[in-house]
């Protein structure tokens, strides 16, 4: 389902011969690491800017992606840089609101890949290809401390008419809230941080999103909020790549494998999620 390697590699070669814009460049990772499958040496792919891996991200989701001033920071940012390095490329980040990332990768022209805590799901996989997963995530719900919803009654208390649950538009948190709290009003916001701001301002009663992000928001920025419910959804984060660029999916899979084997992913997990 995910990887149509051979067909797309062939297509890339054919197109490269006829289209100057469609530059197929060679993946360089396999030679540096040695011992990889020979198929990877032929992996070729197109890039919107030569020498650069242009990465779409929605930097509102610490510890995965966030902005410190102008600078992109977080687990996904370091991962994107490490993947680019494996490919002999420079990582360049571009901000796209989360619900626009998959459509942008599908449409092409704005970014080569999306790295933004994107959960692999069958619907998205109709629009883009996903690499192998690099992280497993769960869902959590936070509320302001001292209210009616507590860890003991959350499952019921959240599923009540009049309860407003803030979610980031187009996320698995939105789907999770709709499915598990059908009596509540699920209110989408474009930006994950806006969800917390809305709750703090009293415009929403709860926020539902990926556990590590809720944990970080609650411990860093919204210390007057608390987690009342966590569900092990076991979502897999992966890099989103255009279906027309299967050679890039292949090359990034090789890179992820190398970064797993050399301990980079473990070190990033300890650094950002430890």
Residues at the site binding ligand ARG, with contacts judged by CB under 6 A: 58, 60-61, 65, 98, 116-119, 137, 168, 171-172, 192, 210, 235
Nearer to ligand ARG, 88 or 103 (CB): 103
Q: How far is the CB of 243 from ligand ARG (least distance, A)?
A: 18
Q: How far is the CB of 209 from ligand ARG (least distance, A)?
A: 6
Nearer to ligand ARG, 116 or 180 (CB): 116
Nearer to ligand ARG, 54 or 168 (CB): 168
Q: How far is the CB of 73 from ligand ARG (least distance, A)?
A: 13
Nearer to ligand ARG, 41 or 121 (CB): 121
Half-sphere exposure of 124 (CA within 13 A, CB side): 26
Q: How far is the CB of 20 from ligand ARG (least distance, A)?
A: 34
Nearer to ligand ARG, 47 or 102 (CB): 102
Per-position DSSP letters for 76-101, written without gaps between them: HHHHHHHHHHHTT-EEEEEE--HHHH
Per-position DSSP letters for 28-77, written without gaps between them: -HHHHH-SS-GGGGG-EEE-SSTTEEEEEE--EETTTEEEETTEEESHHH
β-sheet bridge partners, residue 140: 209, 230
Token pair for 140: 């959590």
Q: Contact, 17 vs 145, CB < 8 A?
A: no
Q: How far is the CB of 182 from ligand ARG (least distance, A)?
A: 19
Q: How far is the CB of 59 from ligand ARG (least distance, A)?
A: 7
Alpha-carbon gap, residue 77 to 113, rounded angstroms: 12
Nearer to ligand ARG, 45 or 189 (CB): 189
Query: Looking up tokens 């917390």, which residue turns up?
Result: 196
β-sheet bridge partners, residue 113: 55, 241
Alpha-carbon gap, residue 75 to 213, rounded angstroms: 11
Nearer to ligand ARG, 100 or 247 (CB): 100
CA R_g for the chain: 20
Strands 60-61, 65-68: parallel, antiparallel or unpaired by DSSP?
A: antiparallel
Q: How far is the CB of 231 from ligand ARG (least distance, A)?
A: 13
Alpha-carbon gap, residue 265 to 82, rounded angstroms: 9
Strands 90-95, 44-46: parallel, antiparallel or unpaired by DSSP?
A: unpaired
């Amino acid at each position: 389902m995910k990887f149509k390697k051979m067909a797309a590699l062939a297509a890339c070669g054919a197109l490269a011969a006829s289209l100057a814009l469609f530059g197929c460049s060679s993946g360089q990772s396999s030679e540096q690491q040695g011992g990889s499958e020979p198929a990877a040496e032929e992996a070729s792919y197109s890039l919107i800017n030569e020498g650069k891996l242009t990465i779409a991200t929605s930097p509102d989701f610490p510890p995965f992606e966030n902005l410190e001033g102008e600078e992109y920071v977080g687990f996904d940012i370091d991962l994107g840089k490490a993947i680019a390095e494996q490919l002999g490329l420079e990582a360049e980040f571009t901000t796209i609101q989360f619900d626009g990332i998959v459509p942008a990768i599908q449409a092409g022209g704005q970014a080569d890949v999306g790295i933004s805590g994107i959960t692999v799901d069958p619907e998205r996989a109709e629009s883009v290809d996903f690499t192998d997963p690099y992280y497993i995530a769960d869902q959590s719900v936070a509320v302001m401390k001292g209210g009616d919803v507590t860890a003991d009654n959350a499952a019921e208390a959240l599923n009540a008419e009049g309860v407003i649950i803030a979610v980031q538009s187009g996320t698995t948190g939105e789907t999770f809230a709709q499915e598990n709290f059908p009596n509540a009003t699920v209110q989408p916001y474009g930006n994950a941080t806006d969800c917390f701001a809305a709750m703090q301002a009293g415009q929403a009663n709860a926020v539902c999103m990926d556990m590590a992000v809720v944990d970080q928001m609650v411990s860093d920025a919204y210390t007057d909020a608390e987690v009342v419910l966590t569900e092990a959804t076991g979502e897999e984060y992966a890099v989103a790549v255009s279906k027309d660029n299967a050679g890039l999916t292949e090359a990034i899979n090789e890179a992820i494998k190398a970064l797993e084997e050399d301990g980079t992913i473990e070190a990033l997990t300890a650094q950002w999620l430890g």
